[in-house]
Structure 1
Amino acid sequence: MIDYVKILIKNLAPSTLEANPLLNFFDNINLSTGELKTTNRNGNKVTPSKNANYNGLEFKIYDTGTITLSGSLHKYWNSGAHNFNDFNIDALLLVLNDLKNKFGIIPNQCILKCLEIGINITPPIPTNEIIDNCFLHKTKSFEHKHNSDEGNYKQWVHSQYIIKLYNKALHYIRKGFSIDIEIMRFEIKYTKMQKLNEKGIFSLQDLINYGLHNFKDEVLKEWQNVLYFDNTTRIDTLSKTIKKRLLEYSNPNYWTRLINNKQIENFKNHRKQLKEITTKNSNNIQSSISKTINNKIDFLNIKTTQIDTLTILSKRVVLKNICRVTGINISMQKDESILLSHTGLKYYYKSDKKIFEQIKRTYLSKKWFNSNFEIQIKEIAHNIRNKSSNTNNKQKRIYKPTQLNTLNMLGI
């Protein structure tokens, strides 16, 4: 659910980051004069800084000693490549742990300055059709935007936050990725921290403690605040008066005129009428999307207790009905099974997609991520077998048959 963040890092010495072999810092220097850059492209004064990038995150060390980090934690999870797949709570915790281990960045010392909470879903109808029929958010007109990271998107700007809506799949297809499903992205970008501070959220650690699942009501509320015209509305049985009204309602200019003329009560009444007509005579696309968002947020925030996302239990004691590589229960397979196989993978795909997705992330090469289901199953099982074989071979290299193994003598 978390995507873009901008954080101020406290109690971390600039020299620690500057000495880190994973980071290459560069100054913004005028090549003609040799002077440090002190103004941005708008001519506003800026504090000179050294910048470094790693896996989609930008580190900045200002001359004042201030350190900021900005970028997509979701992209970081994918080595900076993309953010169109699922990014659940376990993945987020893994990212934060990785930042701590590699750079000494501790969540309770990361003060939030900007935050995006969003959700990727597969909508019931084409994403572009949905976007085209989202007219207003509350009483705000939309803006069409484009940037190199997110492509084309629609947004509604409020004083403390921005609502963004775009076709995530289309953007990455244009970048060369193979995606065969619709992916709609809906997100809240908190540009001011007041709303978060009121929830007791000041740092990344506060955010984790608060719980991402507790943003579900807010995300759903903001989606319902979108004025959506449902193209699936059936008009055959409607009166001429209502048909005429629907024709007006289908035009975004009709709604913006009401707002611009300060006819707020009139606006509310007509919006209510649209809602009533849609509820009785359409496929209720907006409500259907709400249910999908609700279920997806629940799915992403279930912590899995069976699987260790850091080590996948590969070094633990082998127990009966437990895969010796993944540590996953394989009691649904044959009694003599020692590794998770096609049968077990298909079982988890149907009964516990959370576990399946985590196994997939760990044991499926990115080369096969967009292949069909049967190929994915085959490749995951193959990689698990290879992992087991490689571990056995390593053990044989370390402990030759003629070598005394103290661990075996101790029964370990």
Structure 2
Amino acid sequence: MIDFIKLNINDGLELEELISNNKLADLKTFTNNATGEIELYPKYGKYYNMDIKINPKYSKISGSLHKLENICLYGENQNFNDFSFDSLSYQIPFLEETFNLKHNNSLSYLELGFNIKVNTNPKSIIDDNLLMYDCKGHSKDLKFSGNGDYKEFVKRDYTLKIYNKSKQYNKEFNISENILRIELKLKTKRKIQNLGIFCLSDLLDRNNIFNMFKFLHSEFKKLVIIDTLNFNSLPIKDSEKLIKYSNPHYWQRLRTEKKSYKVINRLKKDFNNLLNKHQLNLIHKDLENKLIYKFWQLINENQKELFEPIKDGLG
């Protein structure tokens, strides 16, 4: 669920003193290449997997809360298993107490990710079925230096990333299951705060996590994921339309030609109708159902009361 975070700490000198007094990390500085003098700041350190950067007026702590738990509990630097709200509710107070973060932090980056078990190799879903986001091509299509496959769709304030989690860690952990990760990265304070999240402790409110998931779900629904298609089995007219609609260059040309919002929406509706008519969205529906199920599983695991959001809005 919640994974990578970036925390801005208001009082850098106070944090530096706390780290030094409690020997939490070995803080290092660098030599100025021009003068040969040792710079006083910034200072860098590591607390397990969490990176620390200290300046007098502000500091940063960043890293994966999911990996932090696995390192502390199992000695494993990985995030391919599940990370529930129950686990999050232990990690956050632990970090707050360790670094005295109760009232002096703000979140500037936040990830929400879910590891979804699928019946086929995630590579084939990513390469063959995941075609577009909102009828736009992917921003990145990379291979993790041979350790995995992913497609990323980048917006100004956030990014939606779909990748092969099982392949990423298979060499080190010999993973036998097929795991597809669906991940939302919030990259600006503005977007994070629009969801009611300001500081680390706000992540202990399940309504805030739910708001973030609702946004992830709405973005996931914009993905164009099409089942393997045999054009020869379709009527010629439908086949020609689907070939055209499934090409991101077609939609880019419409935008370049400044076709109206109404025209583009009508064509998108026709595209969706064809996918429904020929049952070419079964993979998309299956992944969406598994994504929703995984959220409710992780938000309620080991909780005394089942979570009931103030406003639902899923669907």
Compute the TM-score of the two structures, normalised by the length of structure 2: 0.82
| Aligned equivalent of 1:110 | 105
Matches within 5 A, 1:53-92: 53-62=46-55, 64-79=56-71, 81-92=77-88
Q: After superposing the two structures, state which structure 1 stretch, 13-22 or 90-99, moved more.
A: 13-22
Contact 2:140 2:152 in 1 (8 A): yes
Contact 1:3 1:74 in 2 (8 A): yes
Q: What is the deviation of 1:50?
A: 0.8
Aligned to 2:270, which of 273, 276, 287? 273
| Aligned equivalent of 1:161 | 158
Q: 1:15 to 1:4 in 2, by over 3 A?
A: same
Q: What is the deviation of 1:186?
A: 1.3
Contact 1:55 1:75 in 2 (8 A): no
Q: What is the deviation of 1:247?
A: 2.5
SS at match of 1:164: strand
Aligned to 2:240, which of 244, 247, 258? 244
| Aligned equivalent of 2:312 | none
| Aligned equivalent of 1:394 | none
Q: What is the deviation of 1:192?
A: 1.5
Q: What is the deviation of 1:67?
A: 1.7
Contact 2:92 2:201 in 1 (8 A): no
Q: Which runs of 5+ in 2 are unaligned?
A: 305-315
Q: After superposing the two structures, state which structure 1 stretch, 64-73 or 121-130, moved more.
A: 121-130
SS at match of 1:71: strand
Compute the TM-score of the two structures, normalised by the length of structure 1: 0.64
| Aligned equivalent of 1:197 | 193
Q: 1:35 to 1:138 in 2, by over 3 A?
A: farther
Matches within 5 A, 1:235-384: 235=231, 238-263=234-259, 265=261, 266-282=263-279, 284-305=282-303
Matches within 5 A, 1:204-219: 204-209=200-205, 210-219=207-216
| Aligned equivalent of 1:121 | 116
Q: What is the deviation of 1:31?
A: 6.1
Q: Distance in 2 between matches of 1:145 and 1:234?
A: 25
Contact 1:144 1:154 in 2 (8 A): yes
Question: Is the radius of gyration larger for structure 1 or structure 2?
Answer: 1
Q: Which runs of 5+ in 1 are unaligned?
A: 38-46, 307-412
Higher relative contact order (CA 8 A, sep 6+): 2
Aligned to 2:43, which of 37, 50, 66? 50
Contact 1:9 1:111 in 2 (8 A): yes
Contact 1:77 1:95 in 2 (8 A): yes
Q: Distance in 1 between matches of 2:150 and 2:170?
A: 15
RMSD (CA atoms): 2.7
Q: Identity, % of aligned pairs?
A: 29
Q: What is the deviation of 1:122?
A: 1.3
Contact 1:9 1:67 in 2 (8 A): yes
Question: What is the identity, as a one-letter code, of the residue corresponding to 1:192?
Answer: T
Contact 1:234 1:281 in 2 (8 A): no
> 1:7-26 deviations in whole A, cap 9, x for unaligned?
11245432111233231111
Matches within 5 A, 1:383-398: none
Q: What is the deviation of 1:91?
A: 0.9
| Aligned equivalent of 1:225 | 222
Q: 1:155 to 1:18 in 2, by over 3 A?
A: same
Q: Distance in 2 between matches of 1:54 and 1:301?
A: 27
